[in-house]
Chains A and B, each alone.
Chain A
Amino acid sequence: MSVAYGRISPWATARVLVQLAWARTFSVTLVAGVIGLLLLPVLFALAFASRGSLSGDPVAFLVQRYDTLVCGLAMPLIALLMGTSAFSAETEDGTLLYLVTTTTPRWWIACVRVMYASIVTGLLSAFAVWSTGAIAADGSNPEHVTTAFTVAVLFGGATYAALFTALALLTRRALVAGLVYVLFWEGALSRTFPALHYLSVRQWTLAVASALTESSEKALQDGPSLAASLIGAAVLVVLSVYVGGRRLQRPHMQR
């Protein structure tokens, strides 16, 4: 008896790869952590809104919270969790073998995992941006700042997700490496040495937001140009899928 082969279906394989990723990602701890990260800017917005006319300029408030709490914390950490959890767990327990001993192209496996992490990160971050803006600006969109950051986090989420998904295949300590990048490289070094802005996903995200809003808040003026940010992100995403696909040719699994 022999089985009949069809063409590898991109959608069917994507569904399966996402299903397997979700099975490895989902946990009560992860959901609690993500909710906590998303609630942080919302709580600030509630405090801001509760002060009514005493609370000051909503644009300045929103730019600052979006910069520090969404772009600087929630978005990269959600991307880190979504990007690393599936591949890291599969590498650790050896179940990655069930993906790489199939006829599905390796680059497609990496690509789907990047898309999965990008979409989840982007949508969750956009939700945090939108709900914070809606509460703090009372439903309005002053200087298009909420719209600008919604687009920016979709862009930044995809870039972070690509970086961390590839990282999960490159090192067994992807979570630590990702935290070092977010907290040390972007949080400390990049602030001290402006030249490093060109190698910061957070700054690329702010550059996109800056291009879409009329606000002239300082946080939006320091970063690299929009063109440099878009090119940097595109290179990073393509490189991550390429490196991830290459790595899946010969994965390092725990023995």
Chain B
Amino acid sequence: MSDVRKIEATVPLAFDRASHWYGDVVAVNDVTCAIEAGITGLLGPNGAGKSTMLQMAAGLLAPSSGTVRAYGESPLANPSIFRKVALVPEREALPSMLSARAFVEARAVLLGLRDPKLAALRALTTVEMDTVADRKVGGFSKGMRQRTKLAAALVHEPTLLLLDEPFNGLDPRQRLHMMRLLEDRARDGTAVLLSSHILEEIEGVASRILVMLSGRLAASGDHRTLRRMMTDRPHTVRIRSTNDRALASALLSSPTVMGVDVEADALLVRTADYTGFAHQVGAVAQQASITLLEVQPTDESLEHVFAYLVAR
């Protein structure tokens, strides 16, 4: 084996100019990145291509162009790769007539584990489902289903764990438990790639975040870098007051304000220093004897943030 192949074989997951399109729709566009041991978050709004990335990583979808490799091998038509890889899908559906134990054991058998019962019990205990393991999954809550899916994925202790929106349906305690569990896995050397459309969900757990937008890799880095990018960007704030024109004039003298648009019933204020502006706006209004009726950031949605990151 050449040195390059040896190095490739140690990288849990690598996308090299990978694209995938469904008919005319480009779901993933020319993505190059490598996923190492530790937790990597795949962040993006719905439709950004996160699930397609994960399905390509698990070999369920072929890249339309480029390559995807798990431990140096193509995951396509390669069942043996699932000794190391597991995918937790976003969809909740499970075989409703089976108990959680029967379902996880079934996975253990299909994965060729020597002791499926023990492996299933261990996985169910890990996700705190051992006490309800004999109940049929059809009667489970969303959170219980999510944990059963995770147990089915962890049953063979994979070293590359792919999770599609794993925090959906979990209450705060369960979410915290899952975060700790993933952190433990990462500490043991597992590469975890988890997708989410909520930054707060993954910034606490992921050491590295990949931001996807419209199929493209828009940005990547640790959560501090991304936070800085998001905080330092220009913000637009909509303000209604008892005297919009006078307030606009007063605000323009503030160093935190980049510009003001006066609309029919409100002001649109652009600021580069959102925190500084938030501290000053009250004082400026008070000095000018103006009452603030509404102060509302207009561009705080994730889509706006992503659009900004892409445009940079």
Q: Which A residues have a C-beta under 8 Å from some C-beta of B?
A: 1-9, 12-13, 15-17, 19-20, 23-24, 26, 93-95, 97-106, 249-251, 253, 255
> Complex: how many Å from CA A16 to CA B106?
6
Please state if A103 and B82 are interface contacts (CB–CB under 8 Å). Answer: yes
Q: Is B76 an interface residue (CB 8 A)?
A: yes
With a cutoff of 8 Å between Cβ atoms, the chain B residues found around residue A255 in the complex are 51
Q: Is B139 an interface residue (CB 8 A)?
A: no
Q: Is B176 an interface residue (CB 8 A)?
A: no
The residue that A98 contacts in the complex, of B59, B107, B156, B157, with Cβ under 8 A, is B107
Please state if A3 and B113 are interface contacts (CB–CB under 8 Å). Answer: yes
> Complex: how many Å from CA A43 to CA B160?
59
Q: Is B33 an interface residue (CB 8 A)?
A: no
With a cutoff of 8 Å between Cβ atoms, the chain B residues found around residue A13 in the complex are 109-110
Q: Is B272 an interface residue (CB 8 A)?
A: no
Q: Is B228 an interface residue (CB 8 A)?
A: no
Q: Which B residues have a C-beta under 8 Å from some C-beta of A?
A: 51, 58-62, 76-77, 79-80, 82-83, 85-87, 89, 91, 93-98, 102-103, 106-107, 109-116, 119, 152, 155-157
- Given A6-B112, A106-B79, 20 further pairs, Cβ under 8 A: A1-B157, A3-B155, A5-B114, A7-B112, A9-B109, A13-B110, A20-B98, A24-B95, A26-B97, A94-B89, A95-B93, A95-B94, A97-B87, A97-B89, A98-B110, A101-B86, A102-B82, A103-B111, A250-B76, A253-B60
> Complex: how many Å from CA A100 to CA B102?
18
Please state if A4 and B109 are interface contacts (CB–CB under 8 Å). Answer: no
Closest CB of chain A to B263's CB: distance in Å? 40
Give the nearest-CB partner of B113 in chain A: A3
> Complex: how many Å from CA A19 to CA B59?
25
Please state if B79 and A6 are interface contacts (CB–CB under 8 Å). Answer: no
Closest CB of chain B to A176's CB: distance in Å? 22
Closest CB of chain A to B153's CB: distance in Å? 8
Closest CB of chain B to A49's CB: distance in Å? 40
With a cutoff of 8 Å between Cβ atoms, the chain A residues found around residue B89 in the complex are 94, 97
Closest CB of chain B to A247's CB: distance in Å? 11
A250-B79 CB under 8 A given contacts A3-B156, A3-B157, A95-B95: no
With a cutoff of 8 Å between Cβ atoms, the chain B residues found around residue A5 in the complex are 83, 111-114, 156
With a cutoff of 8 Å between Cβ atoms, the chain A residues found around residue B156 in the complex are 3, 5
> Complex: how many Å from CA A173 to CA B51?
25
Please state if B87 and A101 are interface contacts (CB–CB under 8 Å). Answer: yes
- Highest count of chain B CB atoms <10 Å: which of A15, A23, A97, A98: A98
A100-B83 CB under 8 A given contacts A4-B113, A6-B114, A16-B110: no
Closest CB of chain A to B28's CB: distance in Å? 13
A104-B77 CB under 8 A given contacts A26-B97, A98-B152, A255-B51: no
> Complex: how many Å from CA A24 to CA B113?
24
Closest CB of chain A to B12's CB: distance in Å? 16
Closest CB of chain A to B47's CB: distance in Å? 11
With a cutoff of 8 Å between Cβ atoms, the chain A residues found around residue B112 in the complex are 5-9, 102-104
> Complex: how many Å from CA A98 to CA B62?
18
Please state if A250 and B115 are interface contacts (CB–CB under 8 Å). Answer: no
Closest CB of chain B to A42's CB: distance in Å? 30
With a cutoff of 8 Å between Cβ atoms, the chain A residues found around residue B115 in the complex are 4
Please state if A19 and B60 are interface contacts (CB–CB under 8 Å). Answer: no
Please state if B60 and A104 are interface contacts (CB–CB under 8 Å). Answer: no
With a cutoff of 8 Å between Cβ atoms, the chain A residues found around residue B58 in the complex are 101
Please state if A250 and B60 are interface contacts (CB–CB under 8 Å). Answer: yes
A93-B111 CB under 8 A given contacts A1-B157, A19-B102, A100-B60: no
Give the nearest-CB partner of A12 in chain B: B109
With a cutoff of 8 Å between Cβ atoms, the chain B residues found around residue A251 in the complex are 60
Please state if A6 and B113 are interface contacts (CB–CB under 8 Å). Answer: yes
> Complex: how many Å from CA A226 to CA B244?
92
Give the nearest-CB partner of A245 in chain B: B77
Please state if A105 and B102 are interface contacts (CB–CB under 8 Å). Answer: no
> Which 7 pairs between the two chains have the least Cβ-Cβ distance?
A93-B93, A102-B110, A6-B114, A94-B91, A23-B97, A4-B114, A249-B77
> Complex: how many Å from CA A236 to CA B310?
52
17 A-B residue pairs with Cβ-Cβ distance under 8 Å, sorted by A, are A4-B113, A4-B114, A8-B112, A12-B109, A13-B110, A19-B98, A19-B102, A23-B96, A23-B97, A93-B91, A95-B93, A101-B85, A102-B112, A103-B79, A103-B80, A103-B112, A104-B110
Give the nearest-CB partner of B81 in chain A: A103
Give the nearest-CB partner of B162 in chain A: A101
Please state if A250 and B62 are interface contacts (CB–CB under 8 Å). Answer: yes
The residue that B82 contacts in the complex, of A9, A17, A101, with Cβ under 8 A, is A101
> Complex: how many Å from CA A97 to CA B51?
13
Closest CB of chain B to A183's CB: distance in Å? 31
With a cutoff of 8 Å between Cβ atoms, the chain B residues found around residue A94 in the complex are 89, 91, 93
> Complex: how many Å from CA A94 to CA B164?
13
> Complex: how many Å from CA A212 to CA B83?
50
Closest CB of chain B to A88's CB: distance in Å? 13
With a cutoff of 8 Å between Cβ atoms, the chain A residues found around residue B152 in the complex are 98
> Complex: how many Å from CA A7 to CA B109?
10
The residue that A3 contacts in the complex, of B93, B98, B106, B119, with Cβ under 8 A, is B119
> Complex: how many Å from CA A94 to CA B95?
10
